[in-house]
Structures are given as structure tokens and as C-alpha cells.
Amino acid sequence: MHNVTPLLARKEDREREESAGPFPGGMVGFASWWIALAIPFMLYGSNTLFFFLYTWPFFLALLPVSVLIGIATSVLLRGHLLLTLLLTAISVICLFWLIFSLLTGW
């Protein structure tokens, strides 16, 4: 037989699994956007609907940004879900509140 290496000798290369990828981070970003959307309703009540009636494109534009923030944090933190959840929620709520306060004070 020639110089052949059996595939079982490289077993350690196949056992290394990749992480789940950016999907959990995207889901965390999406959930953080919904939580950030609910905060003005909890603070100001149903009058927030009249404000969102005219400014909804600004807040809708934050949805893909929050998903990307979640994906980026998940990839940078290598899948640590609790840290990803915390950092994504804080940054998305801060972005949402920044847009909200800029539009209400304008």
C-alpha cells in the first residue's frame, strides 16, 4: 500500500464545531427593538401613537440597525449569549431613546 493517511487519523479536525453563527444575535437585536419600542408606550401611554403616526419611518429604520448590532455583538463576543443580550439591549434602547428625544425636542 502507498503512503495513505486514513481519515480517522484526522478526527480532531472534524470534532471542532462552529458556533451557531450570528442568528442568536439577530434574534436578540430584534427582541431589543421591540422592547425599546414598548418603553415610550409604558412611559407616555397611548398618546405615543399620535407621535409615532408621523415619525414611524425613523423608528422602523432602527430595526435593521438593531439586528446588525445584535449580530455584531454576538460575533465579537463569540456567542456569549448573556453578554450579547445585555450589550445589545443597552445599545438599542439608547439609540431608540436618542431618536425619540431628538424628534420630540425638535
91 assigned to some structural domain: yes
Q: In which domain, by residue range, is 32 found?
A: 21-104
* Domain total in the chain: 1
H or E segment to which residue 28 belongs: helix 23-44
Residue stretches of the chain with pLDDT short of 50 = none
| pLDDT at residue 70, as a whole number | 96
DSSP codes joined into one string, 36-99: HHHHHHHHHGGGHHHHHHHHHHHHHHHHHHHHHHHHHHHHHTTT-HHHHHHHHHHHHHHHHHHH
Tens-place pLDDT, residues 53-77: 999 999 999 999 999 999 999 999 9
9 assigned to some structural domain: no
34 assigned to some structural domain: yes
74 assigned to some structural domain: yes
Residue with C-alpha cell 415619525?
A: 55
1 assigned to some structural domain: no
69 assigned to some structural domain: yes
| pLDDT at residue 20, as a whole number | 66
| pLDDT at residue 83, as a whole number | 95
Global pTM value: 0.78
Name the residue among 25, 40, 30 with its Cα closest to residue 96. 40
